[in-house]
Amino acid sequence: MEEIIFRQRDAAKALNGKTFLLAVASVVLRLALAQIIVNLLIKATGVGLISIAFYLYAIWLLVGFMRRTVASHVYTLKQETLVLERRLGDSTTTVVEIPLSSIVSLRPVYAAERLKLSYKQVTVIDPACKTPLAMRAAFLASLFSAHLARVIAGRRTDRKLGHVAVYEENGRRKACVFRPNAEMCEALAAAIPKPFGFDERETGARDTSLMGRSLERAFPAYYGFVEPLVRPEDIERADAEIKRQKDERKAAREARSKAEKARREAQKTAKETAKKEAAERKNQKNQKDAPKPEQENPQGEHRRRRNPKVQ
């Protein structure tokens, strides 16, 4: 029997009256909607067996409600194994039992991380570790707009959900999300110092899926292992090319402006010169066409002086 190094017990979260009533109202509302939908389907198809789906949904809903309100969790670190259990009343269920030698990574996980992008099987031990509904909507919105995804996510992006243990089983990597406290984290760091805090995705193959690239555009800080649709060096080259083209267009506009200004100045000078020449020609013509003044006759004037009667 393995020696127990550390054990963490998390009791069920106590609910106040308001929270409990809201939870019960949510369950009742979901059941009512499910009943309406099942009745409509039965009426439309005439297949009464569809009602079985309602009972299965009701059982699943009630079990989930009990896990959120009644179930507690026990995390046990042994010499060679990490055991994650769920307790519901007097019964204890071992959800995951992970050999320490198979753990390749144990690190914090945040709300902006979509673990199913990297791992086909993700087990969530504590319901408090589940990705919020708003973040799941943001993941879908990232396919259409990175800005819209960030708006939907809001401040939930940096919310720490817990820790994820990534381990290998039958040649496949699986993930398990749980909420160890500070003492448990210290014990895990001492037991598996190499995997603790290590993100194995950074050293693996780059993700090139559409969802991965969409999430990388929306939340780049959490998806460094994704091959971006546009690389940073491509962005730098594009920015440099755009700047060069802007400078060329600016220089061309300045050259056209100078040329246009010179043309206007030349036209203005030509008009002024033409006006001056026209004014000079007009003056010359006026002077040429003007009547000449009568010339005095010196001899007649002499005769008039000698003979004043002669007019």
Q: How far is Cα 179 from Cα 96, in angstroms, rounded to an integer?
A: 14
Amino acid identity at 88:
L
| Pick from 124-128, 142-146, 148-152: least confident | 124-128
Reply yes or no on whether the pLDDT at 84 is more than 60. yes
- Indicate the length of the chain as a whole number: 311
Q: What is the DSSP string of 210-257?
A: HHHHHHHHH-GGG-TTB--SS-HHHHHHHHHHHHHHHHHHHHHHHHHH
Q: How far is Cα 103 from Cα 188, in angstroms, rounded to an integer?
A: 11
Q: How far is Cα 82 from Cα 185, in angstroms, rounded to an integer?
A: 12
Relative orientation angle of helices 51-69 and 17-45, to the nearest 10 degrees: 170
Domain boundaries, the chain: 4-222
Supply the pLDDT for residue 109.
Answer: 93
Burial of 34 per CB tally in 10 Å (0-12, 13-18, 19+):
middle
Q: Residue range 36-58: average pLDDT? A: 85
Supply the pLDDT for residue 94.
Answer: 75
Reply yes or no on whether the pLDDT at 97 is more than 70. yes
Q: Which helix (H) or strand (E) holds 195?
A: none
Reply yes or no on whether the pLDDT at 244 is more than 50. yes
Say what percent of the chain tops pLDDT 90: 27
Q: In what order do the strands lie in the sheet with 91-99?
A: 4-10, 72-78, 81-88, 91-99
Amino acid identity at 267:
Q
Reply yes or no on whether the pLDDT at 311 is more than 50. no
